[in-house]
Amino acid sequence: MINVDGCFRSRKGARATRESWYFLIHPMARRFPQTTLAGFEATKYLYIRAGDHRLIPIWVVVVEGRVIVRSWNDKPGGWYRAFLSHRRGAVRIDGEEVPVRAVRVRSTRLNDNADAAYASKYTTKANAKYVKGFRIQRRKSTTLELVPA
């Protein structure tokens, strides 16, 4: 049912915008094309920003065709908090800025698979400390999925 503010409401009264309703019906519409996914998989450092935040390099993994990022330190002025405030931002892939939207990852399975993906992608001795640290619950709770904006 559509109400006067342009939102859908379920029988239980849950509210969803037209955009979120579309993604519920068409889940593949919010996934990146294979060529873009290959760019995410190939890069070790993804340049990302949300809102007015500057572009900064972070680690990125692709799990089950989904682009996953995680914050090492949850600083009030950091990129993770900027995404919580703005939800939309951009990443630089192959020299181009790609608009993205950040969605919190709530799935334990996907979060655990992200742990394994980080361990298999970032394999140097210098990376070991960070791969291990990403398994700590406070860091796992900062896991976001990036989807096309």
Does residue 9 lie within any of the structural domains?
no
Q: Give the pLDDT score at 13.
A: 52
Domain residues for 99?
28-148
Domain count, the chain: 1
**For residue 6, what is the DSSP state?**
S
Percent of the chain with pLDDT over 90: 69
Classify residue 55 by its DSSP letter.
Answer: P
pLDDT given at position 77? 87
pLDDT confidence band for 29 (50 / 70 / 90): low
Best CA proximity match to 40, nearest among 31, 51, 27: 31
CATH of the domain at 58: 2.30.110.10
50 found inside a domain: yes
Residue 140 pLDDT greater than 80, yes or no: yes
For 21, 129, 143, 149, the CA distances from 139, given in Å and listed in that order, are 30, 13, 7, 25
pLDDT confidence tier of residue 14, bands split at 50, 70 and 90:
low
HSE (CB half, 13 Å, CA atoms) of 89? 27
Q: Which whole number is the average pLDDT over 23-49?
A: 82
**Tens digits of residue pLDDT in 68-115:** 999 998 898 899 999 999 889 999 998 999 999 999 999 999 999 999
Confidence of residue 120 (pLDDT cuts 50, 70, 90): very high
User: pLDDT for 40-61, tens place per residue?
Assistant: 999 999 999 998 778 999 999 9
For residue 41, what are its two tokens?
């998989």
| Residues near 116 by beta carbon (within 8 Å), at least 6 away in sequence | none
Say if 2 falls within a structural domain: no
Structure tokens given for 19: 């955009």
The DSSP H or E segment spanning 42 is helix 34-42
